[in-house]
A and B are shown apart, each in its own frame.
Chain A
Amino acid sequence: MTGLDSSNVSSTTAGGQPPAATPVSKIAPPVTPKLSIWEWVKENLFSSPFNCGLTVVTTVILLAIFRGLLAFIFNPVRQWNGVATNLRLMMTRAYPEEQYVRIWVCVAVILILTSLSMAIWHAGSALSVSEVGRKLLTTGTILVLFALLAPFSTAATMLWLLVALVVLGFAEFLRRSSRGLEGQTISTLTLLVLTLSGLVASLWVIPYGHHSYIPKRDPRVLAEPGTVALSTKLPWTLMLVIAVVAYFTGRALRDRLPANATRITLIVLWLLAPPALLYLVLRDPAFDMNHVATTDLPIFAAYAIGGTALLSWLTRPSTGELGRIVSAIILLAGFCSFLTPMRMIVRIDMLALAIFALAAPTFSGGPRAQKRYVASWIGLLGVMSWLITAINTPSTVSVPGGFFIGGMSITLMVAVFTLVISFPLGIALALARTSSMPIFRLLATWFIEFVRGIPLITILIFFSIMVPLFLPRGMHLGEVAAVIIGYVLFSSAYLAENVRGGLQSITRGQQEAADAVGMTSAQKTLFIVLPQALRVSIPPLVGHCIGVFKETSLLAIIGVFDILYIGRIVIPGQTEFMGSTKENVLFVSLIYWIFAYQMSKASQRLEQRTGLGER
Chain B
Amino acid sequence: MTDPTTAETPTETIRDLSKARDVIVCENVSKWYGDFQALDRVSATIKEQEVVVVLGPSGSGKSTWIRCINRLEQHQEGRIVVDDVELTNDLRNIEKVRSEVGMVFQQFNLFPHLTILDNVTLAPIWVRKKPRPEAESQAMALLERVGIPEQAQKYPGQLSGGQQQRVAIARALAMEPRIMLFDEPTSALDPEMIKEVLDVMKTLAESGMTMMVVTHEMGFAKEVADRLIFMEGGQIVEQNSTEEFFSNPTEERTKLFLSQIL
Given the complex of chains A and B, what is the CA–CA distance between A527 and B112 in angstroms? 12
A401 within 8 A of B: no
Given that A520-B95, A614-B157 are contacting pairs, would A512 and B129 also be in contact in the complex, using a CB cutoff of 8 Å? no
A532 touches B123 (CB 8 A): no
Residue of B nearest to A532 (CB): B113
The answer on a CB contact under 8 Å between A519 and B123 is: yes
A520 to B91, CA, bound (A): 9
Tell me, rounded to whole Å, the shortest Cβ–Cβ distance linking B187 to chain A: 14
Contact for B175 among A518, A531, A614, CB less than 8 A: A518
Q: Is B131 within 8 A of A366, CB to CB? A: yes
Q: Is the CB of B110 within 8 A of A518?
A: no
- Given A517-B98, A517-B123, A615-B113, answer yes or no on A317-B129 (Cβ-Cβ < 8 Å): yes
Please report which residues of chain B, range 98-144, place their CB below 8 angstroms from some CB of chain A when the two chains form the complex: 98-99, 101-103, 105, 107, 109-113, 122-123, 125-127, 129, 131
* B87 on the A face (CB < 8 A): no
Kindly state the separation between the CA atoms of A517 and B139 in the bound complex, as whole angstroms. 14
* CB-nearest residue of chain B to A366: B131
When chains A and B are docked, how far (Å) is the Cα of A523 from the Cα of B155? 21
CB of B111 within 8 A of CB of A510, answer yes
Cβ contact within 8 Å between B107 and A369: no
Please indicate the chain A residues that have their CB under 8 angstroms from the CB of B172 in the complex: 516-517
Q: With A512-B105, A527-B122, A615-B155 in contact, do A518 and B127 touch (Cβ < 8 Å)?
A: yes
CB distance from B87 to the nearest CB of A (A): 13
Q: Interface centre among A368, A517, A518, by most B CB within 10 Å? A: A517
Interface assignment of B70: CB less than 8 Å from any CB of chain A: yes
Instruction: Let me know if B258 is at the binding interface, CB within 8 A.
Output: no
CB distance from B168 to the nearest CB of A (A): 8
Instruction: Please state if A523 and B127 are interface contacts (CB–CB under 8 Å).
Output: yes
- Which residues of chain B are near A39, meaning CB under 8 Å? none
With A515-B98, A516-B70, A531-B113 as contacts: A611 and B126 at CB distance below 8 Å: no
Minimum Cβ distance to chain A for residue B104 (Å): 9
Residues of B within 8 A of A523 (CB): 126-127
B72 contacts chain A at the CB level, 8 A cutoff: yes
CB-contacts of A312-335 with B (<8 A): 317
Q: Is the CB of A516 within 8 A of B113?
A: no
Whether A512 pairs with B122 at a CB distance below 8 angstroms is no
A513 near B110: Cβ-Cβ < 8 Å:
yes
A513-B95 contact given A518-B123, A518-B175, A527-B126, CB 8 Å threshold: no
A364 within 8 A of B: yes
Residues on B with beta carbons closer than 8 Å to the beta carbon of A515: 70-72, 98
**Cα–Cα distance between A520 and B123 once the two chains are bound (Å):** 10
Encode contact with B along A505-537: 1 for CB under 8 Å, 0 otherwise: 001011011111111100100011001100100
Minimum CB distance partner of A615 in chain B? B157
Closest-by-CB residue of A relative to B156 is A615
Q: How would residues 522 to 558 of chain A score, 1 for a CB under 8 Å from any chain B CB and 0 otherwise?
A: 0100011001100100000000000000000000000
Contact count band on B: 20 to 34
A479 CA to B98 CA, complexed, in Å:
52
A298 at the binding interface (Cβ < 8 Å): no
Contact of A513 among B109, B155, B157 (CB under 8 A): B109
Compute how far the CA of A129 lies from the CA of B158 in the bound complex, rounded to whole angstroms: 33
Complex Cα distance A362/B109, Å? 23
Instruction: Answer whether A518 and B95 are a contact pair too, CB < 8 Å, given A369-B129, A523-B127, A527-B122.
Output: yes
State the Cβ distance, B124 to closest chain A Cβ, in Å: 9
A365 interface residue (CB < 8 Å to B): yes
Give the one of B71, B125, B127, B171 with max A CB within 10 A: B127
Q: How far is the CA of A31 from the CA of B168 in the complex (A)?
A: 41
Q: A365-B129, A516-B98, A518-B123 are in contact. Are A615 and B109 (CB under 8 A)?
A: no
With A523-B127, A615-B155, A615-B157 given, is the CB distance from A518 to B98 under 8 Å?
Answer: yes
A548-572 CB contacts (< 8 Å) to partner B: none
Most buried by B among A513, A515, A610: A513
Contacts of A364 in B (CB 8 A): 129
B125 to chain A minimum Cβ distance, whole angstroms, is 8
| Given A515-B98, A519-B123, residue A368 in contact with residue B109 (CB < 8 A) | no
- Assembly CA distance A507 to B111 (angstroms): 11
Contact A510 to B109, CB < 8 A, known contacts A516-B172, A518-B98, A518-B127: yes
Shortest CB-to-CB span from A360 to chain B, Å, is 13
A362 to B95, CA, bound (A): 14
Q: Bound complex: CA of A513 vs CA of B111, how far in Å? A: 8
A520 contact set on B, CB distance < 8 A: 95, 127
Collect the chain A residues with CB atoms within 8 Å of residue B155's CB: 611, 615
Q: CB-nearest residue of chain B relative to A317? A: B129
Return chain B residues, CB-CB under 8 Å to A507.
109
Chain A's closest residue to B110 (CB) is A513
Q: How far does the Cβ of A59 sit from chain B's closest Cβ, in whole Å?
A: 43
Chain A residues with CB under 8 Å of B70's CB are 515-516
Contacts of B107 in A (CB 8 A): 509
Contact in complex: B95, A517 (CB < 8 Å): no
B185-203 interface bits toward A, Cβ cutoff 8 Å, 1 = contact, 0 = none:
0000000000000000000
Given A509-B105, A512-B105, A615-B157, A519:B111 Cβ within 8 A: no
Query: Are B105 and A513 neighbours in the complex by a CB distance under 8 Å?
Result: yes
Knowing A510-B111, A535-B113 touch, does A518 contact B72 (C-beta < 8 A)?
no
Residue from B129, B158, B175 within 8 A of A517 (CB atoms): B175
Closest to A513 in B: B109
Chain B residues lying within 8 Å of A516, measured Cβ to Cβ, are 70, 72, 98, 101-103, 105, 172
Q: Which residues of A contact B171 (CB under 8 A)?
A: 517
Q: State A317–B109 Cα separation when bound (angstroms).
A: 29
User: Which residues on A sit within 8 Å (CB–CB) of B126?
Assistant: 362, 365, 519, 523, 527
Rounded to whole angstroms, the CA-CA distance of A519 and B125 in the bound complex is 11
Closest to B126 in A: A523
Q: Chain A: which residue is nearest B107 at the CB level? A: A509
Contact with B along A352-377 (1 / 0, CB 8 A): 00000000001011101100000000
Tell me the bound Cα distance from A510 to B112 in angstroms: 9
**Closest B residue to A517 using CB positions:** B123
CB B68 to nearest CB in A, in angstroms, measures 13
> Within the complex, what minimum Cβ distance (angstroms) separates B94 from chain A?
9
Query: In A258-308, which residues have CB < 8 Å from any B CB?
Result: none
Which residues on the B side are within 8 Å of A611 (C-beta)?
155, 157
Please give the distance in Å from B184's CB to the nearest CB on chain A: 13
CA distance A284 to B103 in the complex (A): 59
Are A366 and B109 touching (Cβ within 8 A)? no
**Whole-angstrom distance between the alpha carbons of A610 and B155 in the complex?**
11
Looking at the assembled complex, report how far the CB atom of B9 sits from the nearest CB atom of chain A, in whole angstroms.
25
8 extra interchain contacts, Cβ-Cβ under 8 A, other than A509-B105, A516-B103, A523-B126?
A515-B71, A516-B72, A517-B102, A517-B172, A517-B175, A518-B175, A527-B111, A532-B113
Q: What are the nearest 7 A-B pairs in CB distance?
A: A513-B109, A517-B123, A518-B99, A615-B157, A516-B103, A518-B98, A365-B129
Can you report 21 residue pairs joining A to B where beta carbons are below 8 Å apart? A365-B129, A507-B109, A510-B109, A513-B111, A514-B111, A515-B98, A516-B70, A516-B101, A517-B98, A517-B122, A517-B123, A517-B172, A518-B98, A518-B123, A519-B123, A523-B126, A532-B111, A532-B113, A611-B157, A615-B113, A615-B158
